[in-house]
Amino acid sequence: MKYNYFFHLLICIVAVGCSEPDVQFKNFNASGKAIDYKGRVEKLNDSAVALISSAAFAETKVIGDSATLYLSSGNDQHHYVVVELNGQNSKRYKVDGSPISIDLGNNDTTLVRIFKANEALTGDVILNKISAQNLIPAEDPKQPLIEFIGNSITCGMGADTRELSCSEGEWYDHHNAYLAYGPRVARALNLDFRLSCVSGMGMYRNWNDEDQPVMPDVYENLRLNADSTKKADLSRKPDIVSIALGTNDLSFGDGTKERSDFDQQKFVENYTNFTKRIFELFPDTQVALLTSPMVGEKEQQVLLESLKQVKENLKNRPISIFEFDNMQPHGCDSHPDIDDHAKMAQQLIPFFKGLLKF
């Protein structure tokens, strides 16, 4: 009996001694030094940083096998983020106030990036904190920067129908800026990027209006709207600025509201002045003018002629023009879906690679 007692006591001691210690998780506020941000963002307070523009993101290195993200909405609607792990695995999550738990597998350290999948127009996504065993800052080797200025196509609007069909949910439920053509090009060429895009926006008029702010009016404003009290931080100068506008200027609107004929002279004038402003902001940049995969053959020709005129108006500046192949878009409201964006990116990669002279 005494032998059995001491035997079981020894087993208990060994079992306790060999057990894994409980992992202690800590909360890291969004504004902490271990978390870095790219794109249009705003620090609201120590525990709240707003991701504003499409594909704006937070990044950090997480030590441990899991983390919990605490995200909230800047308005009364839900949003989406894409979480990328070690530059490869990515998944889209709904931001509705619930914590988002991330399984990091057996990696000791994981580079975690949290991208806003929606756009500035839909409201802020706010990162409050990250709960994890530990966070350390991500290395930040500066790569050439490319900025993509555009409309709903550039924002990835209507692109992601894997969870909800186009007939389901809200119009912003199908956004995926992470899988739009711009970030795809940047990842393929190992470039840093930022997106400045607004659905429905044009160069001299928008999709269904003639008198609301257009891209030249809002570009320098933090939230890409008429509020000029807060300006965007444009201190980092892009090596290339890609501009893809004209689809909405050329559109017929909703077909119900009265709309004047396309004014090519006004379009070229506004486009020229905006491009001139880009060179004032970024004197050493190159500018790429892109046509649209979403307009008819006649409109495409008018757009191409207009871009050529802009280039001629600024002939002493480094401006290149890219013409997309004709495409039948498969996303919502005649927008490219994620597969279409992949095809657009494949067309653009050699073009931008040539501009960077890789």
Of the pLDDT bands very low, low, confident and very high (cuts 50, 70, 90), residue 92 is very high
User: Can you tell me the distance from the alpha carbon of 112 to that of 142, in angstroms, rounded to the nearest whole number?
Assistant: 18
pLDDT of 15 higher than 60: no
CATH 2.60.120.260 residue ranges in the chain?
Answer: 26-136
Residue 277 one-letter amino acid:
R
pLDDT tens track for 125-182: 999 999 999 999 999 888 999 999 999 999 999 999 999 999 999 999 999 999 999 9
Q: What is the model's pLDDT at position 21?
A: 56
* Residue 183: pLDDT over 80: yes
pLDDT per residue as tens digits for the range 201-228: 999 999 999 999 999 999 999 999 999 9
Q: What is the pLDDT of residue 358?
A: 63
Residue 19 has pLDDT above 80, yes or no: no
> Identity (one letter) of the amino acid at 355?
L
Task: Write down the pLDDT at residue 14.
Answer: 44
Best CA proximity match to 275, nearest among 305, 247, 316, 235: 316
* pLDDT value of position 255: 85
Q: Is residue 18 pLDDT above 60, yes or no?
A: no
With a CB cutoff of 8 Å and minimum separation 6, the contacts of 146 are 182, 185, 186, 191, 192, 193, 238, 239, 240, 241, 242, 352
- Which pLDDT value is given to residue 253? 86
CATH class of 26-136: mainly beta
| Number of helices followed by number of strands (H, E) in the chain | 8, 15
Share the mean pLDDT of the chain: 94
Categorize the per-residue pLDDT at 247 as very low, low, confident or very high, splitting at 50, 70 and 90: very high
φ, ψ of residue 76 to 5 degrees: the values are -100, 25
CATH tag, 145-356: 3.40.50.1110
Location of each CATH 3.40.50.1110 domain in the chain: 145-356
Question: Could you tell me what percent of the chain has a pLDDT over 70?
Answer: 94
Please report how the helices 264-281 and 297-313 are oriented relative to each other, as an axis angle in degrees rounded to 10: 50
Q: How far apart are CA 75 and CA 117, in angstroms?
A: 16
Asked if residue 92 lies in contact with residue 114, where contact means CB atoms within 8 angstroms, the answer is no
CB atoms within 10 A of CB 190: 11
Query: Per-residue pLDDT averaged across 62-81, rounded?
Result: 98
